Structure formats: structure tokens, C-alpha cells
Chains A and B, each alone.
Chain A
Amino acid sequence: MKDTSRDLFPGALEMMVLRTVAMQPLHGYALAQHIQRTSNDLLAVEEGSLYPALQRMLKARLLKAEWRVSSTGRRVRVYEITPEGRDHLHREVSRFERMLEGIRLVLGPVDPATR
């Protein structure tokens, strides 16, 4: 089934990108590979969709970017998280967890007797 690769909810991609670059600065391709790998290929992100998201976060100053030469000798643009980015990530993650908690309560096993 293709269920595993359904669309992400809004903001999910941003959160994953911030989380990833919070650990270490990465360029676009490496970032895509990392998300793919760590999600066990469950989230089939269309790689291209990463770029508009990166631009949005650059514009919002959650990230900063710098052209460097990679270990393989490529000219790459490396993204790094800013202090605002960290705050944002923190807020988003806790909001996400609260939301998840809510969803779990609704979806959780229901005792027919309580109804």
C-alpha cells in the first residue's frame, strides 16, 4: 500500500528540516537524503518540495545559508539553524506533541460501557 507516503500535514516538513539542521548544518541534497533515511523511507518526500520550504524558512530567518565546498568537492549551499529557528522548533514540537496527544485520546480504545 502507498499509505505510508501520503501528504504531510502543513508545517511537518519545516519541523523535520529544522530538527535535522539543528543537529548539524547540511546542504539540500544531504538534507533530503537524511530525512528519507531516518524516516525509514516511510515519508516519501518529493525532494523538490524541500526548496520552497527552505526559502520560506530563510526568509523567516529561521535558517541561514552559506555557499561552501563539500567533502566531494561540490559547490553546495549549507543551511544552519538560527536562534530564532531553535525557538520556533521548540514551540512547534511541543504544539505538535499536544496535538498528537489529542489525536491519540480520540483514536484510543473506547469502552463501550461509557457511551
Chain B
Amino acid sequence: MKLPWRRTHDEEIAEEIRQHLQEAVDDLVARGMPRRDAEASARRQFGNVALIEERSREVWRWTLASDLAADVRYALRQFRRAPAFAAAAVATLAIGIGATTAIFSVADAALFNPLPFPHPDRLVTLNEIVPLIADRPIRLPAPDLIDYESRSRVFDAVGGWTPRTFELSGDRESERVQAARATSSLFDVLGIRPALGRTFTAAEDRDAVAICVISDGLWRRWFGADAAVLGRTIHLDRQPYRVIGVMPRDFAYPLRGTDSDAPTDLWVPMSFTPNERNARADNWDYNGVARMKAGVTVAQATADVDAIAQNIVRDLSPDGDHGQRFTFTAIARPLAPQISGRVRPLVLALSGAVACLLLIACVNVANLLLARGAHRRREMAVRAALGAGRGRLLRQLMTEALLLSLMSAGIGAVLAWWTTSAIAGILPSRFALLANAHVNTTALGFAIGLSLCTAVVAGIIPGLAGASAGRAASLNVRADAGSIALRRLRSALVVVEIALALVLLVGAGLLVRTFQDLLQTSAGFEPENAVAASVSLPPSQYATAQSERQLYRQLVERLHGGGIEVAGIGSTLPLSGRRSERVFWPDEYVAPPGAGYNIAGLSAVSPEYLQAIGATLRSGRLFTPQDDASGAPVAIVSASLARQYWPGRDAVGRRVKWGGRDGTRDWMQVVGVIADLKQDSLDSPGAIQIFVPVDQLEHSMEASESGAFTAGQLRAMYVVVRGHVSEAAMIARLRDTVRSLDGSLAVAGLAPLTDTVAASAAPQRFNMVLMGSFAAMALVLAIVGLYGLISYSVAQRAREIGVRMAMGAAAGTVTRMVVKEGLALAAMGTLIGAAAAAALAPALRALLYGVQPVDAATFGVVIAVLLTVAAAASYVPARRATAIDPASALRSE
């Protein structure tokens, strides 16, 4: 508003001064001085007109805003005049700010605040260590969990849960839902109240009341977010359950990525059965989680639960194949580190990578600004000579630097927000925890601050040098000492950039190798042309093993045809993570002293199952339809089992049985050995497994347990089909066939086996993609820096190059000279970077598979790529150099 007024004010001053000079000249002329002398004399007497005008105007410039507006206008005009420079600087800083903020936000959420519960530092899991089973902490048997809850004194609450799935059926298509059986105290341990309704009471838990609490997700999906959901009945495994509560939207427990892959949809009361309550030292299937009282340490909590555990041990009878007494210890372990531990190596690696990227961005912008500063020395010198004060120039440069950083910060903040949500969108379930990340203002502030400092320091130094260096000298644009020092600084910065980029490229290269190795790893089966699904039979409908087998037999029969060649049913599926581990005894095996139980995964399969998944037979044969209830008990073992228990001998023809050495169960004859299947993930070791025909499950069981065991094993099964039609056709046929047998049965996880493999490599793909994008950005920035420097150097040396060419230097000689200059810098950066990468790479070890951290091939390829790109980046300005016309280069200036 004041600007128009001030413009006339400025004009008044100018007018006044003009009149003054005029009057002085007239006076001197009247006194007889020649007009030309009078004009010079009047000006001498008056002083520096421009400077005085500026100072007079400045008196009125008290409004900071209008002052700033003028500076900003000027700065914007400068940017418009050099749009490539402004765009490059802003984009570079914005990328640095965006990536750094996103990753630091993720790191902060994952490492320091992974649990979305109040006072997360007081949450611990309760575990037991059973030397006979494994020396790592495992879960709890039900009676132990009950004892810890009732007898411990150091906890506010002790809760327990165990996962299970339900068939959710009703008016719409049935679906398989992930559920948890939870003790009523679990919600108190976590300290989260439902958004609607309530959670279960201890009495409801004890009395096995058919009620459930549902997740926000299920509430929206199944009930359309209807607030009247409370009191409604849903059917779980075809039994009615009443909905009593809805949990808040961001409540996720069991924790995704740690406890389960899928989000949990509902919670039902734990309601331990009498069998469960009495299963001492058996079925370590129950998760214990507890909230310590304020002020209690983890050591105190461990001491408390272990005292209870030792009481339990005292009451147990001696047992074991080796005459060892059965013992175990109990411990409390802080929950948060268990959660963040899974993502820690990745998050640390990514944080290192973005820190490098931000550094490169800052170095690059510093370099850009220095180059531009050198370019503007003349402008600054001219403005200083015309009367601009040093403070005035400083303020102008500061405005430009701040404006650059602010524009970058704005775009960077948007990028940070976008990247953070994009990362959440592509997370494999193993890293589900990272989805909690929100843009962290501290990280954003830090990144903006750093880029601000860079812009201000790098923007002002060369400008100041220009403004203060002998003005006359600066106006004369020949390279002076200052610009040589500046070029050295810029060369050093480019070397640093290249070194940092190399470190990132090596990191990305190692992750690419990891991913490749992983995809080439055999999981022991052939995923192509096969489709799998899982079905889970509700016990109310399929009460006996007989009825379960009946359904599976019909399913396999009906699946045949229509392009499907083989169809099989199995209780486990490779890479599914599902396992059922049991103690077994191999015949003709001499246990080394101190050995624990022999444990193998049990997989009950139909005769065609191993063909359907494409397992590789190593020796012997696969199952046939003759291996049925009337046949002799047979088994197929994995190669690992054969190697471990009968090293150097053929496993075919030997025998295994369930239970310990002295157990009375029937021997099963090993008829085949197959290549190891990977049960959990591609990077896990091959599983020790025993496959038995579905129809013979009871054969090797004791009568007392076989009924319940068989039904339990057969309830949830995988169906795998292999054929020569498209995967979509097989998926449709599988779904339709299941529906034709039982219209309410939910078909879950219906997907090609190739998807399962891809999902298993998803974490490594995620690592590779993130690290790869950072490395690519780093490479681009570093190469832009090198290109800029070489172009500048060529422009500066135009005269020298002109002379050389005038003296007869061939174009090739000049090109070589310039490219050599670029390559020398790249080589130095590569050398430093390679040393740094070799020192840092071992930190990546936890993320690698099948490749050593200091992998010669990776280093070689990365160095070759970097040097090639560097040579190309130097070649372009080199070509330009040879186009210099010697005559005009010598004439210029």
C-alpha cells in the first residue's frame, strides 16, 4: 500500500538532487567557468550521486515488509534470469530434504516409538527357555500363563493370546478372518479402550461366553461402520457370537509384521479348555504379555516370573529320552526392542543412505552457488562500484539464499509427506510397523536447517569475495587468486560427492545382488503353473476326521479336469510360515551327548500333494493312492532330516516314529527323500520335515490322542492345483469347486504360487528399491556436479584452449585433456568412496543374503559404472571445448 507513495518519494529525492546540481552548474557558469568544467566541479562538490540518493531513500525504508518485498522481487528476477540454476538448486535441496525427512520420520517411529500404547516401556513379553527344545525364548504352555497371571506381584496386568482363524459367514460371501483368543486382561495390559462398547470381563472369559470384540477394519468392511453394531450377532465357524465392542482405528494387536502377517480382525475370549489347563510342559503356543508396575525393572520382573517357573519345575516328574530332568526358566523381555529389532538393520541402513544423500545434495548446491557466485563477481563488483553498500549486497545475497532454501523446504516438505505415505503403501508385511510413521517435524526442521546453512554459506562467500576484493580487480574478469581457490574448493566438493555416491551405489548394488540371489534360491518346489488356497473347516459342521476327509476327497476329485492335471491337499505350504512341529525319533540314530529333543515339522498330505507343489524327489518314491488307511505306515522326509540323522547313508528304508526313543508309537517306513522346502521365507534354512499320507495320520498316533490330533491337523488345509491353463482359470475353478461343495466355506489366500514366492522376496525387494532409488539420485546429483564443474572449467579455460588449438593441438588432444580432468576427480572420489564403502558395508550384513559385504564383483561393477558415467559427463563439455574458435576466444574480453 505504501509502495506507490514511496515511489513518488524516491522521485522527489532524485528531482531535488538534479535541481541542486543544475543550480550549482549554473552558478559556476555565471562566475565564468566553462560549462564542462562546471559540471565536473559541481559533481565533485556534491559527492557520489547514486550513493547519496540511495542513502536518502534508505531513510524512508523502515518498513521491513516492503524492504523484503523489494529484495525478494530482485532475487526472483535473478532466478528468472538463470532458471536452470534455480531449478537445479531447488530440486536438489528439495530431494535431499524430502528423502531425509521421510526416512528419519520412519526411523524415529520404528526405533524409538514402535508401540502405539501408553507407557510402552513398561510392556514386556513373558517367555520360557526350555533347553531340551531350543536355547532361544519360546512361548508359554497355557497352565504356566495362568500361573504367571495369578501369582506374580510385579505386574499391573498379565495377559495372554493365541492366534486362530475363523470362517466369518452371513449374508455376504464368507471370508476367513484373522482372530486372536485373548484373555480379558489383555486389553488392560495394552491400556487401550474400545472405541465403541466394551471388552470382555474375567467372568465372561472363564465361562466361555460367545462374544467378540471386532477391529475398526472389520466394522467398516462387514458392518459399513454402523454404530448399531453392538449386540448384533455374527457367525464364526458357523457358531453365533455377539459383538460387544469395536476397537479404535489404529489399534493393531497382535502386532503386524511381528506376531502375524495379516491384521487381526477380531478378538474372542481365551476361555481355556480343561485340556489346555492341564497341558503342563506341553503346547508352548500361548503368548504372554504383561505391563510392569511403575518403577519395576525388567530384571525384577524376570526374577519374579522365574521364581514361579522354578516352583512349576519342582512339581514336574523327570522325563526325556536322555534321562535328563526337564527344566526351564522364565524371563520377561521388553516388548519394544523385539518389535524394532526386526526393522533395525534396514532402518539404520536407510538412515545412513539418506544422510549421504542429504550431504550430496548440500554439497551439490554449495557447488552450484559457488559457481554462480564466481559468475556474479563482476555483477557484485559493478554494484559495489555504483554505490551499493557492503551490507546492502550481503542482504541481497542472503535474501536469495534464504529464498532458495525456503522454496526447497516447501517442495521438500511436500515430498517428505508424499514419500512417507508412499513408503507406507508399499510396505511388505514384515515391515508393517513402519506404516506408523508420520512426517517428523524435528527431522524436517533439521533437514531444512542444514540446507539453509548450506545455501547461506555457499551463497554468500563468493559474493562477499566479489564485493570486497579490489573493485577494479574484480571488474577485470581475468582469473585471479580468489577464483583459483574457489575452483579448488569446488573440485574437492565434487570428489566428496562422488565418494558419497559410490558408497550408496555399493549399498544398492549389494542389495540388488541379494535380491537376485534370493530369486535364484530354490525354495524346493516349482511355483510356475500352480495355484494354492487354504480352506478351514468349521468344527461344528465337520465334527469328525471322517467328514473332513470326505470333503477333501470330493474336492480333489472334482478339481481334476478342465486343464488341471494334479490337485493335492496338504497341512502345510512352503513359504506360508505355517508349521506343526513335533518330537520324533529316527531309527538307528545315536544321539550325541547333551542333545535335546528331535523336532520335525509334520505335514499331512494327500498322495498328489508333493507333485502339485512340484517338489523335487531326491531318492525313493512319492506317495501313491495305495498309501492309504489299509497300507503300511510310510513317510517321506526332507533332505536336511536325512542328512542330519543318517549322514552318508540312504534314508530310504529307514524308520521314524513320533515321540521319544522309548515311545510306543508305530514306526513309519521312509519311502522317499525330497529336496528341502523353505517353510518361512526364501532366506530361511531348509526345513526338517516329515510328510505322512493324510489317510494314515492315525496309524502312528496313540489311540488316546489320535482322534483330536487328526481332526486338528486336518481342519485347516492347503489346496494346490497344477495345470496347463492360465492361473486365472485355475483360480476360478478352485473357487467354484469349493463353493459347489459347501457354499459357506471361505477360500483364503487364493493365489498363484509365484505370488507367494514374490511376497516372500518382498522385504528384500523393498530394501533394494529404496536403497536403489537413493543411490540413483546420488549418482545423478554427483554427475551433475561433475558436469557443472568441467563445463565451468572449460568456459574458464576457453582462452587457453583457443591458444592450444591455434598452435595446432588436435581436437582429440583437447578432448582427452578435458576428459582426463573429469576422470581424475572421479577416480579420486571413487578411491575414497571405495575405501569408505569397504569400511561401511559390513553394517549391511543383516540385510544381505548369499553375498559378502565386501563383494569384489559389486564393487567392480559399481566403480566401472561410476567411471563410465563420469567420463560421459566430462566428454560433453570436452566436445564443446573443441568447438571453440581460437580467434574469437583470443579476441574475447
A residues near B (Cβ < 8 Å) are 27-29, 32, 46-49, 51-52, 54-56, 59, 72, 74-77
Contact A47 B46, beta carbon cutoff 8 Å: yes
Within 8 Å by CB of B19, from A47, A52, A54, A74, lies: A74
Q: A47-B47, A49-B47, A55-B60 are in contact. Are A76 and B13 (CB under 8 A)?
A: no
| Most chain A Cβ neighbours within 10 Å, of B15, B23, B48 | B23
Question: What residues of B have a CB within 8 angstroms of the CB of A56 in the complex?
Answer: 59
Q: A48-B47, A56-B59, A59-B59 provided; 18 other pairs, C-beta below 8 A?
A: A28-B19, A28-B20, A29-B23, A46-B46, A47-B20, A47-B24, A47-B45, A48-B17, A51-B56, A52-B52, A52-B56, A55-B57, A55-B59, A59-B60, A59-B62, A75-B15, A76-B19, A77-B19
Contact A48 B19, beta carbon cutoff 8 Å: no
Q: With both chains docked as a complex, state the minimum distance between the C-beta of B573 and any C-beta of chain A, in angstroms.
A: 85
Bound Cα distance from A39 to B390, whole angstroms: 34
Question: What residues of A have a CB within 8 angstroms of the CB of B22 in the complex?
Answer: 74
Contact B45 A75, beta carbon cutoff 8 Å: no
Question: What residues of B have a CB within 8 angstroms of the CB of A76 in the complex?
Answer: 16, 19
Contact with A along B507-549 (1 / 0, CB 8 A): 0000000000000000000000000000000000000000000
Contact with A along B15-44 (1 / 0, CB 8 A): 111011011100000000000000000000
Bound Cα distance from A54 to B60, whole angstroms: 11
Bound Cα distance from A47 to B41, whole angstroms: 12
Q: Quick check: is B55 within 8 A (CB to CB) of the other chain? A: yes
Question: What residues of B have a CB within 8 angstroms of the CB of A74 in the complex?
Answer: 19, 22-23
Contact B19 A49, beta carbon cutoff 8 Å: no
Within 8 Å by CB of B16, from A46, A49, A72, A77, lies: A77
Q: With both chains docked as a complex, state the minimum distance between the C-beta of B805 and any C-beta of chain A, in angstroms.
A: 52
Q: With both chains docked as a complex, state the minimum distance between the C-beta of B709 and any C-beta of chain A, in angstroms.
A: 98
Bound Cα distance from A20 to B46, whole angstroms: 19
Bound Cα distance from A47 to B15, whole angstroms: 15
Bound Cα distance from A74 to B25, whole angstroms: 13
Closest to A58 in B: B59
Question: What residues of B have a CB within 8 angstroms of the CB of A54 in the complex?
Answer: 56
Question: What residues of A have a CB within 8 angstroms of the CB of B53 in the complex?
Answer: 51
19 A-B contacts, Cβ less than 8 Å apart?
Answer: A27-B19, A28-B17, A28-B20, A29-B23, A48-B17, A48-B49, A48-B51, A51-B52, A51-B55, A52-B55, A54-B56, A55-B56, A55-B57, A55-B59, A55-B60, A59-B60, A74-B19, A74-B22, A77-B15
Contact A75 B19, beta carbon cutoff 8 Å: yes
Contact B46 A77, beta carbon cutoff 8 Å: no
Q: Quick check: is B12 within 8 A (CB to CB) of the other chain? A: yes
Bound Cα distance from A32 to B13, whole angstroms: 16
Within 8 Å by CB of B47, from A46, A72, A75, lies: A46
Within 8 Å by CB of B17, from A46, A51, A72, A75, lies: A51
Question: What residues of A have a CB within 8 angstroms of the CB of B23 in the complex?
Answer: 29, 72, 74
Bound Cα distance from A55 to B55, whole angstroms: 9
Question: What residues of A have a CB within 8 angstroms of the CB of B13 in the complex?
Answer: 51, 55
Closest to B59 in A: A55
Bound Cα distance from A6 to B696, whole angstroms: 117
Bound Cα distance from A79 to B15, whole angstroms: 15
Q: A28-B20, A77-B12 are in contact. Are A48 and B59 (CB under 8 A)?
A: no
| Most chain B Cβ neighbours within 10 Å, of A29, A54, A72 | A29
Contact B16 A28, beta carbon cutoff 8 Å: yes
Q: A55-B56, A56-B59, A59-B60 are in contact. Are A48 and B48 (CB under 8 A)?
A: yes
Bound Cα distance from A27 to B17, whole angstroms: 11
Within 8 A of A (CB), among B47-87: 47-49, 51-53, 55-60, 62
Bound Cα distance from A27 to B20, whole angstroms: 9
Contact B20 A29, beta carbon cutoff 8 Å: yes
Q: With both chains docked as a complex, state the minimum distance between the C-beta of A35 and any C-beta of chain B, in angstroms.
A: 13
Question: What residues of A have a CB within 8 angstroms of the CB of B59 in the complex?
Answer: 52, 55-56, 59
Bound Cα distance from A17 to B860, whole angstroms: 80
Q: With both chains docked as a complex, state the minimum distance between the C-beta of A112 and any C-beta of chain B, in angstroms.
A: 46
Q: With both chains docked as a complex, state the minimum distance between the C-beta of A11 and any C-beta of chain B, in angstroms.
A: 15
Question: What residues of B have a CB within 8 angstroms of the CB of A75 in the complex?
Answer: 15, 19
Bound Cα distance from A47 to B24, whole angstroms: 10
Q: With both chains docked as a complex, state the minimum distance between the C-beta of A14 and any C-beta of chain B, in angstroms.
A: 12
Q: A74-B23, A75-B19, A77-B12 are in contact. Are A48 and B60 (CB under 8 A)?
A: no
Question: What residues of A have a CB within 8 angstroms of the CB of B51 in the complex?
Answer: 48
Question: What residues of B have a CB within 8 angstroms of the CB of A49 in the complex?
Answer: 47, 52
Bound Cα distance from A66 to B46, whole angstroms: 22
Closest to B48 in A: A48
Bound Cα distance from A46 to B60, whole angstroms: 21
Question: What residues of B have a CB within 8 angstroms of the CB of A29 in the complex?
Answer: 19-20, 23-24
Q: With both chains docked as a complex, state the minimum distance between the C-beta of B562 and any C-beta of chain A, in angstroms.
A: 95
Bound Cα distance from A69 to B739, whole angstroms: 105
Contact with A along B843-863 (1 / 0, CB 8 A): 000000000000000000000
Question: What residues of A have a CB within 8 angstroms of the CB of B58 in the complex?
Answer: 52
Bound Cα distance from A46 to B45, whole angstroms: 6
Question: What residues of A have a CB within 8 angstroms of the CB of B49 in the complex?
Answer: 48
Contact B46 A48, beta carbon cutoff 8 Å: yes
Bound Cα distance from A47 to B21, whole angstroms: 10
Closest to A57 in B: B59
